[in-house]
Chains A and B, each alone.
Chain A
Amino acid sequence: MINFNARLSAVALACACLPSLSFAADPSLTNPAISAVLDGYYQNAERPMAERVEGFGLGHTELALSANIDDMFYGKLTSVIEVHDGETEVGLEEAFIQTLAMPYGFSMRGGRFLSDVGYLNNQHVHTDAFSDRPAAYRAFLGSHYFDDGVRLDYVAPTDLYWSMGVEAFKGDGMRAEDEHGEREFKNVGVYTAYTKLGGDIGVSSSWQLGLSYLRNENGRLTAHEEHEEQVVAEAGHDHDHSHAARYTGENTYMADFVYKWAPQGNYKYQHLTLSGEYFRVSDYEPLDDHDHDHEAVDDHDTAKPDAHTGWYLSSVYQFSPNWSAGLRYGQVDTHLLHDEHFDAQKLKETEVSLAWHHSHFSTVRLQYTNQQGTNFDGITDDNVITLQYVMTLGAHGAHQF
């Protein structure tokens, strides 16, 4: 964890120094944009694997600084301040540089950044229409997967939007549980590849489709040792609020879509957003050193699970500049390793949210979640009600599609 005072004073120093430098005329591009996000809530219960706790709490309190460094590089720093069990922790969610002037539609990003897999992952959580990410994100990506690494991205020169990219990450947060701390993990643990296609349908509708693959070298569960008596993985048991993925596997496949509609393409008054994603996480069973064990498991156990899966469908309608409502259903089907066998788990979430927006920068949201868990720890109440505010201060950057 980063030293709280040092980080804050560094940001304060940056804030104090930068405006005194003389930049060119356009502040949106050349002066650093400084922004903060305030997020606070009250909820009556918790959602499994989520970061928000029962009662009053603060969500992602962000402080971000971004600017073009010169004509070649753009830089962004996003620090997230979280309070867990009375401890204030400062985390770095983003600290990256990106190239601005590579030819032929290429760009590179390096440092700590949000992976571009899936649809929601590269979006900041404060832009979400629901207080927590879908269960699939919480289970497989630690709510939102950011890490230290590099990305190479390419946008094709076509009228149909077509981009593709590859990323390599350290992958610490995506490591499989290692109870004994004896496992040797690979230093570069995660590789991803993604492609996105998108376009318009007439003037009112726009769409985007994405396919992603995430290779996690450290995603397979650690082999169970015969003489050990404890379970290997106990998801949701230690409520540590880390951003680590709860379920990992060597191969994760993702498919996503988003469709947006506004009357005549005018987003000022009404618009509709439909989105959905599907996850399949496979190859997580521990590799057995002893061949006969493997077969034995096949023989006398019930159907051997081949993948964790998860998906969600979300619909958000903004019916006036001040009000929007959302409906989301999502579920995950996972398998928890107990000794020699896997226990099937299932979590189904049906969520409704109603948000009031006084302006683009202030939102107050009321959300109701009905959660149905099978073999899931951490469900104290099937009905969760969250009242939340999300507000942004300062020069806030443009939003993604």
Chain B
Amino acid sequence: MRINSNYLKAGVAALALSFACGAQAKLNIFACEPEYAALAKELAPDAKIYAATTAMQDPHQVQARPSLIAKMRQADLAVCAGADLEVGWLPMLQMKSANAQVRSTDKGLFYAAEHTQTLDKLAQVDRSMGDVHAQGNPHLHFDPERLLEVAKALSAKMVSLDPDNRPAYESALADFSQRWQAATGRWQSQAAPLQGKKVIAYHTSFRYLFNWLGMEQVGDLEPKPGLPPSTGHLASLQGRAGQGDVMAIIVASYQDERGANWLGERTGLPVVNLPMSVGGNDDAQDLFGLYDSVIHLLLGVNR
């Protein structure tokens, strides 16, 4: 039944295609976060891409709002971080949008976390631990090697959904890989002075970035993941900062700076607002710009 309807859809699509004077069939891509919209744009420049969230929005807390249902209803491919990052809203969008194409990873659903090793997987999760993810930290787009693994898998997914355009996807991937690997080498040498630096940060948003650059997060502004900074907790961080080895206090573009500023004022540490994703500041207009900006900002405090 379903197969038949897919044939029917394919037929209709083919018909539409022939009427559209040979224009390429464009994939309609729904990206849960802007980093995956940017990655999809690198891999399928002609696709119609919609980002459900911005770098100013906490991807844990997104409303399953009507506009997202409408966009998901039309999508051929949904690209999300996975590892339960979107568990508070994606299932509702899938239910409400009635689009079977993006309901299962067998078809047009893609979870980045399923295509690389996540950090901090937990054997057991209890709500008393806060808003944690058993499947590991989902903010994996700040590790260039992991992101490249995801890019390869995403390109393969695009080919499987749109096999007619295989050469275009493969050449886009080759082009992206080549530029990305060159940039990775450049970033690593630029960021070498950051090796071993200690920071206090908000949440585990930059877990992969710190891991990649050899930095260490010695304090978390959140007492527990997902809980806002309390005064008692900030006081204990003030004590930690007093040891004198902390370089800066880091917050992401969607996080409240008040706790960080409070701590910064009392400890004399600089507060750095890093873009969480593409669009998080004026420089981060694509994935390359995002990495450039984050490293530039970190080096700025280290100087």
Contacts and interface: CB of A to CB of B under 8 A. Distances in A.
Interface of A: 25-26, 28-29, 71, 74, 98, 100-107, 153-163, 196-200, 203, 206-208, 260, 264-269, 320-322, 358-361, 393, 397-401
A101 B97 CA distance: 11
B228 A106 contact: no
A199 B66 contact: yes
A399 B70 contact: no
Contacts of A156: 70, 73
9 contacts: A71-B103, A154-B98, A161-B69, A161-B70, A200-B67, A203-B56, A268-B256, A321-B228, A400-B64
Given A265-B57, A359-B131, A399-B64, 12 more contacts: A101-B100, A105-B99, A106-B98, A155-B97, A158-B70, A198-B65, A266-B57, A360-B88, A360-B131, A360-B226, A398-B90, A399-B92
Nearest to B88: A398
Nearest to A154: B98
B215 to A, nearest CB: 24
A139 B9 CA distance: 46
A239 to B, nearest CB: 36
B251 to A, nearest CB: 12
Given A200-B65, A265-B56, A28 B87 contact: yes
Interface string B111-152: 100100000000000010011000000000000000000000
A101 B2 contact: yes
B127 A398 contact: no
Interface of B: 2, 5, 9, 53-54, 56-58, 60-67, 69-71, 73-74, 82, 84, 87-92, 95-100, 103-105, 111, 114, 127, 130-131, 226-228, 254-256
Given A157-B74, A401-B66, A268 B95 contact: no
B113 to A, nearest CB: 10
Contacts of A360: 88, 131, 226
B228 A320 contact: yes
A392 to B, nearest CB: 9
Nearest to B254: A266
Contact of A160 (B5, B70, B89): B70
Contact of A268 (B61, B82, B87, B114): B61
B57 A264 contact: yes
B88 to A, nearest CB: 5
A71 B1 CA distance: 13
Contacts of B88: 360, 398-399
A264 B67 contact: no
B256 A269 contact: yes
User: Secondary structure of the B side of the interface?
Assistant: loop
Contact of B66 (A74, A107, A196, A264): A196
A154 B205 CA distance: 38
A103 B57 CA distance: 32
A29 B228 contact: no
A98 B67 CA distance: 22
A28 B95 CA distance: 13
A260 B87 contact: no
Contacts of A155: 69-70, 73, 96-98
Most A CB contacts (10 A, CB to CB) among B70, B73, B89 go to B70
A398 B130 contact: no
Contacts of A320: 228
Contacts of A106: 98
Contacts of B227: 321, 358-359
A160 B228 CA distance: 35
Contacts of A401: 63-66
B67 A206 contact: yes
Nearest to A103: B5
Contacts of A206: 63, 65-67
A357 to B, nearest CB: 10
B95 A98 contact: yes
B70 A162 contact: yes
B254 to A, nearest CB: 5
Contact of A208 (B53, B66, B92, B226): B66
Given A103-B9, A199-B66, A208-B66, A264 B2 contact: no
B101 to A, nearest CB: 9
A260 B99 CA distance: 25
Contact of A103 (B2, B70, B226, B254): B2
Contacts of B103: 29, 71, 100-101
Given A198-B67, A398-B64, A401-B66, A267 B57 contact: yes
Contacts of B70: 155-156, 158-162, 198-199
